[in-house]
Amino acid sequence: MVSSKSKKELIGWGKALFIAAAIAVIIRTFLFAPYVVEGASMEPTLHNQEKIFVNKMNYSNNIKRGDIVIIKGQTENYVKRIIGTPGDKIEMNDDHLLINGELYKESYLSENRKAAEEMDIQLTGDFGPIVVPANHYFVMGDNRLRSMDSRNGLDFINKKDIKGKSEFVIFPFSNIREVK
Protein backbone atom coordinates (compact mmCIF):
# COMPACT_ATOMS: atom_id res chain seq x y z
CA MET A 1 0.00 0.00 0.00
CA VAL A 2 1.20 3.52 -0.84
CA SER A 3 1.65 5.85 2.14
CA SER A 4 0.11 9.32 2.16
CA LYS A 5 3.63 10.79 2.05
CA SER A 6 4.35 8.84 -1.17
CA LYS A 7 1.01 9.94 -2.65
CA LYS A 8 1.82 13.60 -1.94
CA GLU A 9 5.26 13.17 -3.49
CA LEU A 10 3.77 11.56 -6.62
CA ILE A 11 1.18 14.33 -6.91
CA GLY A 12 3.94 16.93 -6.50
CA TRP A 13 6.02 15.32 -9.25
CA GLY A 14 2.96 15.05 -11.50
CA LYS A 15 2.19 18.77 -11.07
CA ALA A 16 5.80 19.70 -11.78
CA LEU A 17 5.89 17.60 -14.96
CA PHE A 18 2.55 19.01 -16.13
CA ILE A 19 3.74 22.60 -15.57
CA ALA A 20 7.04 21.90 -17.37
CA ALA A 21 5.20 20.38 -20.34
CA ALA A 22 2.76 23.32 -20.49
CA ILE A 23 5.64 25.82 -20.45
CA ALA A 24 7.41 23.90 -23.23
CA VAL A 25 4.26 23.93 -25.39
CA ILE A 26 3.74 27.67 -24.83
CA ILE A 27 7.37 28.48 -25.68
CA ARG A 28 7.34 26.36 -28.84
CA THR A 29 3.95 27.63 -30.00
CA PHE A 30 4.37 31.35 -29.34
CA LEU A 31 8.05 32.22 -28.77
CA PHE A 32 10.71 29.99 -30.35
CA ALA A 33 10.82 26.80 -32.42
CA PRO A 34 13.31 24.65 -34.29
CA TYR A 35 12.81 24.02 -38.02
CA VAL A 36 14.66 21.82 -40.50
CA VAL A 37 15.80 23.35 -43.81
CA GLU A 38 14.71 21.16 -46.70
CA GLY A 39 16.25 21.63 -50.12
CA ALA A 40 18.89 23.86 -51.66
CA SER A 41 16.90 27.06 -52.26
CA MET A 42 18.75 29.04 -49.56
CA GLU A 43 22.31 27.83 -50.27
CA PRO A 44 24.94 28.92 -49.41
CA THR A 45 23.29 30.81 -46.52
CA LEU A 46 21.44 27.71 -45.26
CA HIS A 47 22.01 24.10 -46.27
CA ASN A 48 19.71 21.11 -46.69
CA GLN A 49 18.90 19.38 -43.36
CA GLU A 50 20.36 22.14 -41.16
CA LYS A 51 18.26 22.82 -38.09
CA ILE A 52 17.50 26.46 -37.44
CA PHE A 53 16.19 28.30 -34.40
CA VAL A 54 13.22 30.52 -35.28
CA ASN A 55 12.04 33.55 -33.33
CA LYS A 56 8.23 33.72 -33.36
CA MET A 57 7.88 36.35 -30.63
CA ASN A 58 6.15 39.53 -31.90
CA TYR A 59 7.83 38.98 -35.24
CA SER A 60 4.87 39.69 -37.52
CA ASN A 61 4.99 43.39 -36.57
CA ASN A 62 8.72 43.70 -37.30
CA ILE A 63 9.29 42.10 -40.72
CA LYS A 64 12.16 43.76 -42.61
CA ARG A 65 13.77 43.43 -46.01
CA GLY A 66 16.62 40.92 -45.87
CA ASP A 67 15.13 38.83 -43.04
CA ILE A 68 15.14 35.06 -43.53
CA VAL A 69 11.69 33.81 -42.57
CA ILE A 70 9.66 30.63 -42.19
CA ILE A 71 6.54 30.65 -44.37
CA LYS A 72 3.60 28.34 -43.80
CA GLY A 73 2.64 26.70 -47.09
CA GLN A 74 -0.37 24.52 -47.83
CA THR A 75 1.52 21.26 -47.28
CA GLU A 76 4.97 22.32 -46.02
CA ASN A 77 6.94 25.22 -44.60
CA TYR A 78 9.40 27.25 -46.67
CA VAL A 79 12.52 29.20 -45.72
CA LYS A 80 13.01 32.34 -47.84
CA ARG A 81 14.44 35.85 -47.71
CA ILE A 82 12.18 38.93 -47.58
CA ILE A 83 12.89 41.04 -50.67
CA GLY A 84 9.84 43.30 -50.93
CA THR A 85 7.60 44.73 -48.23
CA PRO A 86 4.04 46.07 -48.68
CA GLY A 87 3.91 48.87 -51.25
CA ASP A 88 7.43 48.23 -52.66
CA LYS A 89 7.92 48.29 -56.43
CA ILE A 90 10.22 45.36 -57.28
CA GLU A 91 12.09 44.89 -60.55
CA MET A 92 14.92 42.63 -61.68
CA ASN A 93 16.85 43.84 -64.70
CA ASP A 94 20.05 42.17 -65.94
CA ASP A 95 20.70 40.60 -62.49
CA HIS A 96 20.24 43.94 -60.73
CA LEU A 97 17.50 44.20 -58.12
CA LEU A 98 15.69 47.51 -58.07
CA ILE A 99 13.42 48.33 -55.14
CA ASN A 100 11.39 51.51 -55.53
CA GLY A 101 13.74 52.52 -58.35
CA GLU A 102 16.89 52.16 -56.23
CA LEU A 103 19.59 49.53 -56.79
CA TYR A 104 19.58 47.05 -53.88
CA LYS A 105 22.87 45.26 -53.17
CA GLU A 106 22.54 41.55 -52.39
CA SER A 107 25.97 40.62 -50.99
CA TYR A 108 24.66 37.20 -49.90
CA LEU A 109 24.41 36.24 -53.60
CA SER A 110 28.11 36.60 -54.48
CA GLU A 111 28.87 32.86 -54.50
CA ASN A 112 25.79 31.97 -56.57
CA ARG A 113 26.38 34.92 -58.91
CA LYS A 114 29.89 33.60 -59.71
CA ALA A 115 28.45 30.16 -60.50
CA ALA A 116 25.84 31.69 -62.83
CA GLU A 117 28.51 33.77 -64.60
CA GLU A 118 30.62 30.63 -65.13
CA MET A 119 27.57 29.01 -66.79
CA ASP A 120 27.05 32.22 -68.80
CA ILE A 121 23.48 32.68 -67.52
CA GLN A 122 21.67 35.19 -65.35
CA LEU A 123 21.31 34.28 -61.69
CA THR A 124 17.86 35.86 -61.49
CA GLY A 125 15.72 36.23 -64.59
CA ASP A 126 14.30 39.65 -65.41
CA PHE A 127 10.83 40.51 -64.11
CA GLY A 128 8.67 43.45 -63.13
CA PRO A 129 8.16 46.03 -62.19
CA ILE A 130 5.58 44.67 -59.78
CA VAL A 131 4.07 46.27 -56.68
CA VAL A 132 3.77 44.27 -53.46
CA PRO A 133 0.16 44.41 -52.18
CA ALA A 134 -0.79 45.53 -48.66
CA ASN A 135 -0.18 42.90 -45.95
CA HIS A 136 1.95 40.83 -48.35
CA TYR A 137 5.64 40.24 -48.99
CA PHE A 138 7.80 39.29 -51.96
CA VAL A 139 10.33 36.55 -51.12
CA MET A 140 13.16 34.80 -52.94
CA GLY A 141 15.63 32.08 -52.09
CA ASP A 142 19.35 32.87 -52.09
CA ASN A 143 19.96 30.07 -54.59
CA ARG A 144 17.93 31.75 -57.33
CA LEU A 145 18.60 29.01 -59.87
CA ARG A 146 16.98 26.40 -57.58
CA SER A 147 14.32 28.27 -55.65
CA MET A 148 10.55 28.22 -55.79
CA ASP A 149 9.60 31.66 -54.50
CA SER A 150 7.48 34.73 -55.27
CA ARG A 151 8.75 34.71 -58.86
CA ASN A 152 7.59 31.23 -59.78
CA GLY A 153 5.01 29.54 -57.62
CA LEU A 154 4.68 31.02 -54.14
CA ASP A 155 3.33 34.38 -55.37
CA PHE A 156 3.12 37.14 -52.76
CA ILE A 157 3.25 35.89 -49.17
CA ASN A 158 0.46 36.95 -46.84
CA LYS A 159 1.71 38.44 -43.57
CA LYS A 160 -0.30 35.88 -41.58
CA ASP A 161 1.64 33.02 -43.25
CA ILE A 162 5.02 34.22 -41.96
CA LYS A 163 5.69 32.17 -38.84
CA GLY A 164 8.95 33.71 -37.65
CA LYS A 165 12.49 34.84 -38.37
CA SER A 166 15.44 32.49 -38.60
CA GLU A 167 18.00 33.48 -35.97
CA PHE A 168 20.62 30.70 -35.66
CA VAL A 169 21.71 27.42 -37.19
CA ILE A 170 21.69 25.02 -34.24
CA PHE A 171 22.63 21.76 -35.98
CA PRO A 172 24.97 20.33 -37.10
CA PHE A 173 26.97 21.49 -34.11
CA SER A 174 30.05 22.09 -36.27
CA ASN A 175 28.07 24.81 -38.15
CA ILE A 176 26.40 26.69 -35.28
CA ARG A 177 26.13 30.30 -36.43
CA GLU A 178 23.93 33.37 -36.63
CA VAL A 179 21.83 33.56 -39.81
CA LYS A 180 22.19 36.73 -41.89
Domain locations in the chain as residue ranges? 34-178
CA distance 113 to 54: 27
Asked if 82 contacts 164 with a C-beta cutoff of 8 angstroms, the reply is no
Strands 89-93, 77-84: pairing kind: unpaired
Residue 2 predicted with pLDDT over 80: no
Whether the CB-CB separation of 80 and 140 falls below 8 Å is answered with: yes
Would you state the torsion angle of the CA atoms of residues 156, 160, 165, 171, taken in this order, to the nearest 10 degrees? -100
Catalytic one among 41, 147, 150, 166? 41
Q: Which H or E element spans position 4? A: helix 4-26
Residue 41 is among the residues annotated as catalytic for this protein:
yes
Q: Provide the Cα torsion 9, 15, 17, 18; round to 10°.
A: 160
What's the sign of the alpha-carbon dihedral 25, 31, 33, 37? Answer: positive
Q: What pLDDT does residue 29 have?
A: 65
Tell me, yes or no, if 150 is annotated catalytic: no
Per-residue pLDDT tens digits for 18-55: 888 887 777 666 667 888 999 999 999 999 999 998 88
Among residues 3, 4, 51, 80, the one annotated as catalytic is: 80
pLDDT at 1: 58
**Third-level CATH fold of 34-178:** Umud Fragment, subunit A (2.10.109)
What's the mean pLDDT when you consider all of the chain? 89
Instruction: Find the mean pLDDT for residues 61-86.
Output: 92
**Per-residue pLDDT tens for 89-102?**
999 999 999 999 99
pTM to 2 decimals?
Answer: 0.82
